[in-house]
Amino acid sequence: MTITKDPENSEFFRDGIDEETDLQKQPEQKISIWLAGSIIFFLLLVFVVSALIVQRVYFQPPVVRTAVERELLKHKTAIKDNPNNAEAYVGLAGVYLEVERPDKAVKELEKALRLEPRSWNARFELGMAYEALGKPEEAVSQFLKASAIDPNNEYSFYQLGRLYHKKRDYGQAIQAYKKTLKVNATLADVHYYLGQCYEKTNKKSLAKQEYEEALRYVDSYPEAEKALKQLE
Protein backbone atom coordinates (compact mmCIF):
# COMPACT_ATOMS: atom_id res chain seq x y z
CA MET A 1 0.00 0.00 0.00
CA THR A 2 1.38 3.34 -1.02
CA ILE A 3 1.34 6.22 1.57
CA THR A 4 0.95 9.67 0.04
CA LYS A 5 2.69 12.53 2.02
CA ASP A 6 0.82 15.71 2.76
CA PRO A 7 2.49 18.36 0.56
CA GLU A 8 1.97 21.05 3.26
CA ASN A 9 4.04 19.02 5.67
CA SER A 10 6.86 18.35 3.27
CA GLU A 11 10.25 19.93 3.95
CA PHE A 12 10.30 21.57 0.57
CA PHE A 13 7.01 23.27 1.21
CA ARG A 14 8.06 24.48 4.66
CA ASP A 15 11.34 25.88 3.32
CA GLY A 16 9.47 27.80 0.69
CA ILE A 17 7.19 29.35 3.27
CA ASP A 18 10.13 30.35 5.49
CA GLU A 19 11.90 32.04 2.59
CA GLU A 20 8.78 33.93 1.67
CA THR A 21 8.34 35.06 5.29
CA ASP A 22 11.97 36.28 5.47
CA LEU A 23 11.51 38.27 2.28
CA GLN A 24 8.44 39.92 3.76
CA LYS A 25 10.30 40.81 6.98
CA GLN A 26 13.34 42.42 5.29
CA PRO A 27 11.54 45.62 4.11
CA GLU A 28 9.94 45.94 7.54
CA GLN A 29 13.36 45.66 9.23
CA LYS A 30 14.85 48.28 6.89
CA ILE A 31 11.98 50.66 7.67
CA SER A 32 12.45 50.11 11.43
CA ILE A 33 16.20 50.81 11.23
CA TRP A 34 15.63 53.95 9.14
CA LEU A 35 12.93 55.14 11.55
CA ALA A 36 15.16 54.55 14.60
CA GLY A 37 18.04 56.40 12.92
CA SER A 38 15.76 59.30 12.05
CA ILE A 39 14.51 59.55 15.63
CA ILE A 40 18.06 59.50 17.03
CA PHE A 41 19.17 62.19 14.54
CA PHE A 42 16.15 64.33 15.42
CA LEU A 43 16.83 64.01 19.15
CA LEU A 44 20.49 64.94 18.64
CA LEU A 45 19.45 67.96 16.58
CA VAL A 46 17.01 69.06 19.30
CA PHE A 47 19.76 68.65 21.92
CA VAL A 48 22.29 70.72 19.96
CA VAL A 49 19.81 73.50 19.22
CA SER A 50 18.69 73.58 22.86
CA ALA A 51 22.31 73.78 24.04
CA LEU A 52 22.99 76.71 21.71
CA ILE A 53 19.88 78.52 22.94
CA VAL A 54 20.82 77.96 26.60
CA GLN A 55 24.38 79.15 25.95
CA ARG A 56 23.14 82.28 24.21
CA VAL A 57 20.58 83.09 26.91
CA TYR A 58 22.34 82.05 30.11
CA PHE A 59 26.07 82.01 29.38
CA GLN A 60 26.75 85.25 27.56
CA PRO A 61 30.13 86.86 28.40
CA PRO A 62 29.93 89.67 30.97
CA VAL A 63 29.42 93.14 29.56
CA VAL A 64 32.37 95.48 30.13
CA ARG A 65 30.87 98.58 31.73
CA THR A 66 33.46 100.56 33.71
CA ALA A 67 36.80 102.09 32.81
CA VAL A 68 38.51 99.72 35.25
CA GLU A 69 36.94 96.69 33.57
CA ARG A 70 38.06 97.97 30.18
CA GLU A 71 41.62 98.41 31.45
CA LEU A 72 41.65 94.93 32.99
CA LEU A 73 40.37 93.41 29.75
CA LYS A 74 42.89 95.38 27.68
CA HIS A 75 45.92 94.24 29.68
CA LYS A 76 44.72 90.65 30.07
CA THR A 77 44.16 90.45 26.32
CA ALA A 78 47.63 91.86 25.69
CA ILE A 79 49.14 89.20 27.97
CA LYS A 80 47.15 86.45 26.26
CA ASP A 81 48.33 87.65 22.85
CA ASN A 82 51.95 87.99 24.02
CA PRO A 83 52.88 86.38 27.37
CA ASN A 84 56.36 87.95 27.08
CA ASN A 85 55.01 91.52 27.12
CA ALA A 86 56.41 92.83 30.42
CA GLU A 87 54.63 96.19 30.17
CA ALA A 88 51.27 94.42 29.92
CA TYR A 89 51.89 92.86 33.34
CA VAL A 90 52.89 96.28 34.69
CA GLY A 91 49.70 97.77 33.27
CA LEU A 92 47.59 95.03 34.84
CA ALA A 93 49.35 95.58 38.17
CA GLY A 94 48.56 99.29 37.95
CA VAL A 95 44.85 98.49 37.66
CA TYR A 96 45.07 96.17 40.68
CA LEU A 97 46.71 98.98 42.66
CA GLU A 98 43.93 101.31 41.59
CA VAL A 99 41.28 98.92 42.94
CA GLU A 100 43.31 98.37 46.13
CA ARG A 101 44.51 94.84 45.43
CA PRO A 102 48.27 95.27 45.97
CA ASP A 103 48.65 91.53 46.61
CA LYS A 104 47.59 90.78 43.04
CA ALA A 105 49.75 93.66 41.78
CA VAL A 106 52.86 92.12 43.37
CA LYS A 107 52.30 88.83 41.53
CA GLU A 108 51.97 90.56 38.15
CA LEU A 109 55.00 92.78 38.76
CA GLU A 110 57.15 89.81 39.70
CA LYS A 111 56.21 88.26 36.34
CA ALA A 112 57.19 91.49 34.60
CA LEU A 113 60.56 91.60 36.36
CA ARG A 114 61.32 88.01 35.40
CA LEU A 115 60.96 89.16 31.80
CA GLU A 116 62.68 92.56 32.21
CA PRO A 117 64.74 92.86 35.43
CA ARG A 118 65.71 96.46 34.59
CA SER A 119 62.19 97.72 34.04
CA TRP A 120 61.91 101.02 35.94
CA ASN A 121 58.11 100.92 35.78
CA ALA A 122 57.95 97.43 37.28
CA ARG A 123 60.39 98.31 40.11
CA PHE A 124 58.58 101.54 40.93
CA GLU A 125 55.11 99.97 40.91
CA LEU A 126 56.40 97.09 43.03
CA GLY A 127 57.59 99.63 45.58
CA MET A 128 54.12 101.21 45.58
CA ALA A 129 52.51 97.78 46.01
CA TYR A 130 54.73 96.89 48.96
CA GLU A 131 53.99 100.24 50.59
CA ALA A 132 50.25 99.59 50.16
CA LEU A 133 50.74 96.20 51.82
CA GLY A 134 52.38 97.87 54.82
CA LYS A 135 55.89 96.64 53.98
CA PRO A 136 58.01 99.82 54.00
CA GLU A 137 61.39 98.06 54.00
CA GLU A 138 60.54 96.10 50.86
CA ALA A 139 59.18 99.29 49.31
CA VAL A 140 62.43 101.18 50.05
CA SER A 141 64.41 98.37 48.45
CA GLN A 142 62.40 98.59 45.24
CA PHE A 143 62.54 102.40 45.06
CA LEU A 144 66.32 102.27 45.51
CA LYS A 145 66.58 99.79 42.64
CA ALA A 146 64.31 101.99 40.52
CA SER A 147 66.46 105.07 41.21
CA ALA A 148 69.56 103.12 40.19
CA ILE A 149 67.92 102.09 36.91
CA ASP A 150 66.91 105.67 36.07
CA PRO A 151 68.55 108.37 38.21
CA ASN A 152 66.84 111.04 36.11
CA ASN A 153 63.36 110.06 37.24
CA GLU A 154 62.32 112.09 40.27
CA TYR A 155 59.45 109.88 41.39
CA SER A 156 61.54 107.09 42.89
CA PHE A 157 63.55 109.62 44.93
CA TYR A 158 60.34 111.33 46.03
CA GLN A 159 58.82 108.06 47.26
CA LEU A 160 62.04 107.27 49.12
CA GLY A 161 61.85 110.68 50.78
CA ARG A 162 58.27 110.08 51.86
CA LEU A 163 59.07 106.68 53.37
CA TYR A 164 62.13 107.97 55.24
CA HIS A 165 60.08 110.96 56.39
CA LYS A 166 57.37 108.65 57.80
CA LYS A 167 60.05 106.67 59.65
CA ARG A 168 61.39 109.97 61.05
CA ASP A 169 64.71 109.25 59.43
CA TYR A 170 65.09 112.91 58.58
CA GLY A 171 68.69 112.70 57.37
CA GLN A 172 67.83 110.10 54.73
CA ALA A 173 64.64 111.95 53.85
CA ILE A 174 66.58 115.18 53.27
CA GLN A 175 68.97 113.43 50.91
CA ALA A 176 66.12 111.81 48.96
CA TYR A 177 64.17 115.08 48.68
CA LYS A 178 67.28 116.96 47.53
CA LYS A 179 67.85 114.36 44.80
CA THR A 180 64.22 114.76 43.77
CA LEU A 181 64.61 118.51 43.43
CA LYS A 182 67.86 118.11 41.55
CA VAL A 183 65.88 116.36 38.82
CA ASN A 184 62.83 118.64 39.05
CA ALA A 185 63.14 121.84 41.11
CA THR A 186 59.52 122.94 40.54
CA LEU A 187 57.85 120.45 42.88
CA ALA A 188 56.28 122.61 45.58
CA ASP A 189 55.33 119.68 47.82
CA VAL A 190 58.90 118.43 47.90
CA HIS A 191 60.16 121.86 48.94
CA TYR A 192 57.57 121.91 51.72
CA TYR A 193 58.45 118.41 52.98
CA LEU A 194 62.15 119.21 52.80
CA GLY A 195 61.44 122.32 54.88
CA GLN A 196 59.71 120.15 57.48
CA CYS A 197 62.72 117.84 57.68
CA TYR A 198 65.06 120.81 58.12
CA GLU A 199 62.82 122.08 60.93
CA LYS A 200 62.96 118.70 62.66
CA THR A 201 66.77 118.81 62.53
CA ASN A 202 66.89 122.41 63.85
CA LYS A 203 67.98 123.92 60.53
CA LYS A 204 65.42 126.70 60.58
CA SER A 205 67.08 128.98 58.04
CA LEU A 206 67.14 126.16 55.48
CA ALA A 207 63.55 125.28 56.37
CA LYS A 208 62.51 128.90 55.74
CA GLN A 209 64.16 128.85 52.31
CA GLU A 210 62.28 125.69 51.34
CA TYR A 211 58.90 127.06 52.45
CA GLU A 212 59.57 130.17 50.38
CA GLU A 213 60.45 127.98 47.40
CA ALA A 214 57.19 126.07 47.82
CA LEU A 215 55.25 129.35 47.71
CA ARG A 216 57.25 130.42 44.68
CA TYR A 217 55.80 127.56 42.63
CA VAL A 218 52.31 127.50 44.17
CA ASP A 219 50.63 130.81 44.99
CA SER A 220 48.14 129.36 47.45
CA TYR A 221 49.80 126.87 49.77
CA PRO A 222 48.27 127.31 53.25
CA GLU A 223 50.55 124.76 54.96
CA ALA A 224 53.72 126.43 53.67
CA GLU A 225 52.38 129.89 54.57
CA LYS A 226 51.59 128.75 58.12
CA ALA A 227 54.99 127.08 58.58
CA LEU A 228 56.78 130.19 57.30
CA LYS A 229 54.91 132.51 59.69
CA GLN A 230 55.82 130.29 62.62
CA LEU A 231 59.51 130.65 61.76
CA GLU A 232 59.43 134.44 61.42
Is it true that 65-150 and 160-232 share their CATH fold? Answer: yes
Task: Give this prediction's pTM.
Answer: 0.71
pLDDT < 50 positions in the chain: 1-5, 7-8, 12-13, 17, 23, 57
Q: Kindly write down the DSSP assignment for every residue of the chain, as one continuous string.
A: -PPPPPGGGSHHHHHHHHHHHHHHHHHHHHHHHHHHHHHHHHHHHHHHHHHHHHHHHH-PPPPP-SHHHHHHHHHHHHHHH-TT-HHHHHHHHHHHHHTT-HHHHHHHHHHHHHH-TT-HHHHHHHHHHHHHTT-HHHHHHHHHHHHHH-TT-HHHHHHHHHHHHHTT-HHHHHHHHHHHHHH-TT-HHHHHHHHHHHHHTT-HHHHHHHHHHHHHH-S--HHHHHHHHHH-
Give me the residue spans of the domains in the chain: 65-150, 160-232
Percent of the residues in the chain that have a pLDDT greater than 90, as a whole number: 69
CATH number of 160-232: 1.25.40.10
Q: What class, spelled out in words, does domain 65-150 have in CATH?
A: mainly alpha
pLDDT tens across 173-221, in order?
A: 999 999 999 999 999 999 999 999 999 999 999 999 999 999 999 989 9
